[in-house]
Amino acid sequence: MFAVHLLAFHFTKLKEDQIKKVDRYLYQLRLSDDVLLDVMARFQAEMVKGLGRDTNPTATVKMLPSFVRSLPDGSEKGEFLAVDLGGSQFRAHQVKVFDDGRQSSQLDSKCYPTPKEVTQGNGAELFDYIADCLSDFMETKNLKQKKLPLGFTFSFPCKQTKLEEGVLLEWTKHFRVRGVQDTDVVSSLRRALQKHKDIDVDVLALVNDTVGTMMTCGYDDQRCEVGLIIGTGTNACYMEEMRHISLVEGDEGRMCINTEWGAFGDDGALDDLRTEFDRELDLGSLNPGKQLFEKMISSLYLGELVRLILLKMTKEGLLFNGKVSTALLTKGKIEMKHVSAMEKYKEGLSNTKEILTELNLFPSEEDCVAVQHVCTIVSFRSANLCAAALAAILSRLRENKKLLRMRTTVGIDGGLYKTHPKYAQRLHKVLRRLVPTCEVRFVLSEGGSGRGAAVVTAVARRLAAQRRRLDGALAAFLLPPGTLREVRDKMRAELEYGLKRETQGEATVKMLPTYVCGTPDGTEKGKFLALDLGGTNFRVLLVKIKNGRRRSVQMYNKIFAIPLEIMQGTGEELFDHIVQCIAEFLEYMGIKGARLPLGFTFSFPCRQASIDKGTLVGWTKGFKATDCEGEDVVDMLREAIRRRNEFDLDIVAVVNDTVGTMMTCGYEDPNCEIGLIAGTGSNVCYMEDMKNIEIVEGNEGKMCINTEWGAFGDNGCIDHIRTKYDREVDEGSLNPGKQRYEKMTSGMYLGEIVRQILIDLTKQGLLFRGHISESLRKRGIFETKFLSQIESDRLALLQVRRILQQLGLDSTCEDSIIVKEVCGVVSRRAARLCGAGLAAVVEKKRENRGVDRLQITVGVDGTLYKLHPHFSTVLQETVKELAPQCDVTFMLSEDGSGKGAALITAVAKRLHNVGQK
């Protein structure tokens, strides 16, 4: 028993001594975590360099866009072909993808040899060989009578400009085919396939094997957004944010980037880590100075690296008693399969002895222990370096998503990872240490890159079909110039109908006289009260106007909410609530006893008989208070003040918010004779020549006309441009059939149009995996402010997804892109229609003045115009396009409904005083 223990102790001591000897000899191959974190940082810097348009030409890590923009979503289906070129064999596949709710697929494959005369011959021969093999495969599987889409896995660096095109940058691995570099490999394959008249194959996608691996695993696990190959070669791909890829136009969504990380270090960035053995191996390779990272990692080179180390150690007398065999001197005699066998847990030492004996080396036990440890150090360094680069990719993904912790899946393939007894375990362990903030699941690729190519092709076909259906749904919102000119001309005709006595009664654009007959001239002064009613909030303001050299306008205001039950209660309740708010404000300002002149901004259609009389034509914007329509709102306000019996006011003017906007800007710019509101509602006013206003007596001077253009189209004149979504919004509104133009252009309705489109697209299976959430069913959930946020150029898709999540909509990246596109077409149409209407008004002003070219200012207010990132630009461009003889300046109004009401009151007082004199 003692002898057994003594023998065990002797062997353990022997093993420790040999391991220490090898560790000292190969200390440069043993990398600490600090070194690996440094490698990780270097690789991250190379990734950034590769993604930049200006820095990419000098980057070693090429970060090639793959034009794979979407991961599988489970709805893919159909029958596909795939061919796979890049490994030791060429493979043809038939893949059936089933849309059965279980995301299942069926793979049928056949392997063909890749003889040296093919891999190192000329291009025509290579592609003819591929086409011949595919024809044979289709014959075997009885597929020649079918027209099938094909995915082409081509495991070499290619520059792609689209999914079905790729120019070979350089050959790697053992391939050296002449006449292919710098040419499109898909075109070459198509030419070869055309020679086979009996098969009909459509090449839809060119895929790198790494991308194919990610897509294969992504079909089973939708968290998979990284692909990794560790085999004959090594490479990684991942889903990058489009906004970071300056090599490709557009910044929406994501695209798979094929890093081609094998070339990392080709610029010398890893020279401090490369050993004499790495340099010797590189010099003896087919491509000296290239793919230096791959030569430290992949199975094609690790066996040779072990051979070079053993050869030097033997020559130095550290192994085999210094006796070198012919086999040990022969390149390629130690392969990766030998390294894996020697590192096996139990039989590793016996395998080592057997392999070394076959090399005529006659090893001792000490030699076997030492050689086994050399293999361990070489393969461990490979796993360490691979983990460092993968950690860089995972960190970038986490930073892109702005997450503190991230869960993700890496799809993986390659013989080294699959067959080496300890490689996977080592890689996982080191990765956890390097990126503790990432929880990573590794999924082995089943069916490899061939199945992945078929999945990419299936996704491409799904996206193409979705794109056609999406374009069909949104086509009606894309108004061509001819249609916009037609809208402009119809608006112009409606303006004329509203001004004429005999047609005004039936006109939809009512062209209401405001009895505002002048704009500010700078002499206005005094204290004025202003009331502002036009939305869910009500404001009371005290406005102090000074003239002369210290000309200024000071405002003090307080905002009061109007509850829904008041908005839709009785008229008496509404005006009592308004007067209560006024009382609180007067108390707050300490001016309850003063009888101040008041301007009442009442942002609803009114028919005015004078500046202080306004009969409500009809409620808009959600108001439904009873016993108000057909009544004078100034009288209703006076009655409510009388009922309260606490204070008295001099109500000088009832004002529309659009007129207030024009007057506010007119105070700063005398050339301002048009007011535009583009907010909750939509409206325009302008100064019209009295001689054109047949419904008001007198021909001298001008008067501001409140067009109330929101009702444009209520007679059906624009029905041909209304979509089914517009009709659904109209039918579900408080005033069906009314304010049709406003319902296509104003902030109150745009969000609801978007919601109706999203419901329709979801029913078609184009959004949210076909599931209509409860929140999406709620009318009004999609507020117009969300359009402004979603369409912001500064907002990444991740933030768009967060907005949708706040609305209870669980969206993918692809969903977010579609939602952003829907918001864009709805808001752009609104701005274009608004611009067409405004072009009609400015053209009328030009003709009124009888000039060839008009210079005029439009005062603008409204949250849609002010806050939406693109609305104002599109509107201005449309006016310029449709009214080319008008130079229009747009001026933002500062509080048109408050300050404007006070200015109108001041102007009215000034004109009244002039009249009295």
Residue matched to tokens 């038939």: 94
- Among 391, 542, 516, 559, CA closest to 37: 391
By the 8 A CB rule, do 904 and 663 touch? yes
Per DSSP (E only), the strands in 320-413 are 406-413
Distance, CA of 341 to CA of 347 (rounded, Å): 8
The percent of the chain in helix, strand and coil, each rounded to the nearest 5, is 50, 20, 30
- Among 218, 748, 697, CA closest to 447: 218
- Among 491, 553, 536, CA closest to 741: 491
- Among 769, 711, 744, 893, CA closest to 832: 744
Q: Which residues of 756-786 are buried (b: 16+ CB within 10 A; e: fewer)?
A: bbbbbbbeeebbbeeeeeeebeeeebbbbeb
**Active-site residue flag, 405:** no
**Active-site residue flag, 682:** no
Terminal alpha carbon distance of the chain? 132
Q: Counting beta carbons within 10 angstroms of the beta carbon of residue 594, is it exposed (0 to 12), middle (13 to 18) or buried (19 or more)?
A: middle
Q: Which residues of 549-587 are buried (b: 16+ CB within 10 A; e: fewer)?
A: eeeebebebeeeebeeebbbbebbbbbbbbbebbbebbe
By the 8 A CB rule, do 411 and 218 touch? yes
Distances (CA, A) of 882 to 189, 482, 820, 843, 875: 50, 10, 27, 9, 11
Distance, CA of 367 to CA of 257 (rounded, Å): 45
By the 8 A CB rule, do 883 and 897 touch? no
- Quote the tokens at residue 346: 């139990």
Residue matched to tokens 């696990």: 221
Could you give the 3-state DSSP secondary structure of residue 544? strand
Q: What is the dihedral of CA 596, 601, 605, 609, to 10 degrees?
A: 30
Task: Select which of 298, 445, 603, 811 is catalytic.
Answer: 603
- Among 470, 479, 472, CA closest to 745: 479
Instruction: Please give the backbone phi and psi of residue 215, each rounded to the nearest 5 degrees, phi first.
Output: -70, -35
Could you give the 3-state DSSP secondary structure of residue 773? coil
Pairing of strands 672-678, 438-444: unpaired
- Quote the tokens at residue 204: 């839809």
CA 86 to chain centre: 34
Could you give the 3-state DSSP secondary structure of residue 295? helix
**Active-site residue flag, 539:** yes
DSSP string of 415-461, one letter each residue: HHHHHSSSHHHHHHHHHHHH-TTEEEEEEE-SSHHHHHHHHHHHHHH
DSSP structure class, residue 181? T
Residue matched to tokens 């007057």: 663
DSSP string of 396-421, one letter each residue: HHHHHHT-SSEEEEEEEE-HHHHHSS
Beta bridge partners of 410: 226, 442
Task: Select which of 254, 307, 381, 539 is catalytic.
Answer: 539
Active site residues: 539, 603, 657
